Amino acid sequence: MNPQSKPRQASDPSAAVQFRHVALVGKYQAMGSKAALNGVAHFLLDQGCEVALEYDTALNTGLSAYPALTLEQIGRSCDLALVVGGDGTMLGVARQMARFGVPVIGINQGRLGFMTDVRYEEYPAVLAAMLRGQYQEDPRDLMKACVWRDDECIFNTVAVNDVVVNRTSAGMVELRIDVGGRFVATQRADGLIISTPTGSTAYALSAGGPLVHPGIGGWVMVPIAPHTLSNRPIMLPSSEEIVVEIVGGREVSANFDMQSITSLIHGDRIKVTRSSHQLRLLHPVGWSHFDTLRNKLHWNEDAIGSLA
């Protein structure tokens, strides 16, 4: 269990729902998503909730029986955002909901589902309890990232998973890295990943970074195919500002959660700090980060097989 998670249990399982106005966001490109979303919406109505659909979800599924709201409208008017899809769908919603302090629950219709951890087949029983206060709240730190050019911020956003600087053509990029106002190194590599603990199971993991428990207040900085093999992943305190300056390389870009991209030129600096907002991720009572890792990364399978 995340030490920061906050278990809550309603004393009466028949108690009234705590989340009166619930917004549904779906992976509307997926086969069967319309039927799945409609089923969840009817379930929520039966529980006594007022239901709205995120605007693009409603538009692309044709589900017109419910009010359609933008993500900003959801943040301003809803008590809960319910994501039906995978972690990719969750990321875009999470960034927006964090600004408004709206909690998020994920129903997994994707493949891995590190953040969308309620199995679709089990949602009626699990959601019924969570809507009545039987949940664990798991606060997740976010990154704030700004791209500076000639002392002007030309792009800014927040990231749940990671900030990635990499090349889009042949050749390496050369990056100067400062942490907390102190020079760390100039490195040549295919790129650099600065990841939150939440993002440590994403691109950073495939690039050789460590798994970081979400209760740890830090970032992990992972070089992508570094020229110098002694350039290894490093944990950094999230209280410090990280500055990455583009020194050399062609066609360099910065990606934020792999969902927003900006092109960079020599002299550009990406400043990464901890966001003032946190994602309020809700899990069923009894949820454990280690259970998630074990199930999604298939730990112990060989050991169990050898004992059979």
Catalytic residues: 87
Other beta carbons within 10 angstroms of residue 29's beta carbon come to 9
Q: What is the C-alpha separation between 138 and 136, in angstroms, rounded?
A: 6
Of the candidates 243, 237, 279, the residue with the CA atom closest to the CA atom of residue 114: 279
Neighbours of 97 (CB within 10 A): 26
- Sign of the CA dihedral running 155, 142, 134, 284: positive
Q: Is 238 helix (H, G, I), strand (E, B) or coil?
A: coil
The span from the CA of 189 to the CA of 224, in Å, is 6
Residue 183 Cα to chain centre, angstroms: 29
In a 13 Å sphere around the CA of 71, the CA atoms on its Cβ side amount to 19
